[in-house]
């Protein structure tokens, strides 16, 4: 059982998570917050679900997560038009927030995988799905969906990338309330940096991405591109060095050759 009072005591934000919705079961926290007919319009709203019946991952994949073991939640950002010009940096802020929270609370070394996975010991402990909706031709709603494998002790089935959890890596269960509060505190910190000092985010992100300089391939649908992970640009796109020069990659799954 998630203890909201305990979480609340540790939350130290101005707006992220101040409107907090806790549900036992839902199709997907992202689907819920994206749908404006649900009447939730307060920027910073967080929806946490103990179980998702249709948890979604990137590229129409399914996100599997055991009931009451992990953190599956989404954060709503509304009408922050300046911020919405930097969707990749919002993505990076979320992965940095999760990675730093895990390092600070449990002293586990984390690594970031482009665009936004958080790894421990080369295995995935967190995935992020950022989605937006527009009115007219303007994005006015962004939902940052975060799934962190926290206390799950076993993973069964087929995964695109080998999964792990904090519990598996640490050897003990951890308190989800404290971890969620820490993630939201850090996320707000990084979001504020996007407008004040955006290269702070890319700098920190690069420090935690250990694939830069490596030979990689990027897979998007049936297309596979090979090259060296040269860098990321100031907006968070991957720069792939191929025999024809530098190519900017906006989407895809990255693997080391």
List residues near ligand BTN by CB under 6 A.
Answer: 28-30, 52, 55-58, 61, 63, 72-74, 117, 127-129, 145-147
Distance CA 131, CA 190 (A): 18
In whole angstroms, the minimum distance from the beta carbon of 136 to ligand BTN comes to 26
Q: Could you count the other beta carbons within 10 Å of the beta carbon of residue 190?
A: 21
Estimate the crossing angle of helix 198-208 against helix 87-106, to 10 degrees. Answer: 50
Q: Which is nearer to ligand BTN, 53 or 156 (CB)?
A: 53
Q: Which is nearer to ligand BTN, 14 or 60 (CB)?
A: 60
In whole angstroms, the minimum distance from the beta carbon of 137 to ligand BTN comes to 26
Helix, strand or coil, per DSSP, at residue 53: coil
In whole angstroms, the minimum distance from the beta carbon of 241 to ligand BTN comes to 26
Q: Which is nearer to ligand BTN, 55 or 227 (CB)?
A: 55
Q: How far is CA 227 from CA 183, 206, 216, 222, in A?
A: 34, 18, 6, 17
Q: Which is nearer to ligand BTN, 40 or 228 (CB)?
A: 40
Residue whose C-beta lies closest to ligand BTN: 127
In whole angstroms, the minimum distance from the beta carbon of 33 to ligand BTN comes to 9
Structure tokens belonging to residue 83: 């911020």
Residue 121 gets the label, from left (phi > 0), alpha (psi -120 to 50) or beta, of left
End-to-end CA distance of the chain: 42
In whole angstroms, the minimum distance from the beta carbon of 197 to ligand BTN comes to 27
Distance CA 156, CA 217 (A): 27
Q: Which is nearer to ligand BTN, 85 or 160 (CB)?
A: 160
């Amino acid at each position: 059982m998630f203890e909201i009072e305990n979480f609340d005591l540790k939350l130290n934000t101005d707006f992220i998570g101040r409107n907090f919705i806790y549900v036992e079961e839902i199709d997907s926290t992202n689907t819920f917050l994206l749908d404006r007919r649900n009447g939730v319009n307060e920027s910073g709203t967080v929806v946490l679900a103990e179980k998702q019946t249709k948890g979604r991952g990137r590229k129409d994949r399914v996100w599997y997560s055991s009931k009451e073991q992990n953190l599956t939640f989404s954060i709503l950002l509304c009408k922050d038009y300046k911020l919405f010009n930097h969707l990749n940096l919002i993505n990076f802020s979320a992965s940095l927030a999760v990675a730093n929270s895990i390092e600070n609370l449990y002293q586990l070394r984390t690594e970031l995988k482009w665009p936004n996975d958080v790894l421990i010991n080369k295995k995935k402990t967190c995935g992020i799905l950022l989605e937006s909706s527009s009115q007219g031709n303007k994005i006015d709603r962004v939902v940052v969906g975060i799934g962190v494998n926290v206390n799950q002790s076993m993973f069964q089935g087929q995964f695109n990338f080998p999964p792990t959890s904090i519990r598996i890596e640490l050897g003990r269960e951890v308190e989800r309330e404290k971890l969620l509060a820490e993630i939201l505190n850090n996320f707000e910190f990084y979001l504020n940096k996007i407008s004040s000092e955006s290269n702070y985010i890319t700098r920190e992100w690069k420090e935690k991405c250990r694939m830069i300089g490596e030979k990689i391939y990027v897979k998007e649908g049936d297309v596979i591109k090979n090259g060296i992970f040269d860098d990321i640009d100031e907006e968070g796109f991957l720069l792939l060095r191929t025999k024809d020069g530098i190519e900017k990659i906006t989407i895809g799954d990255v693997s080391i050759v």
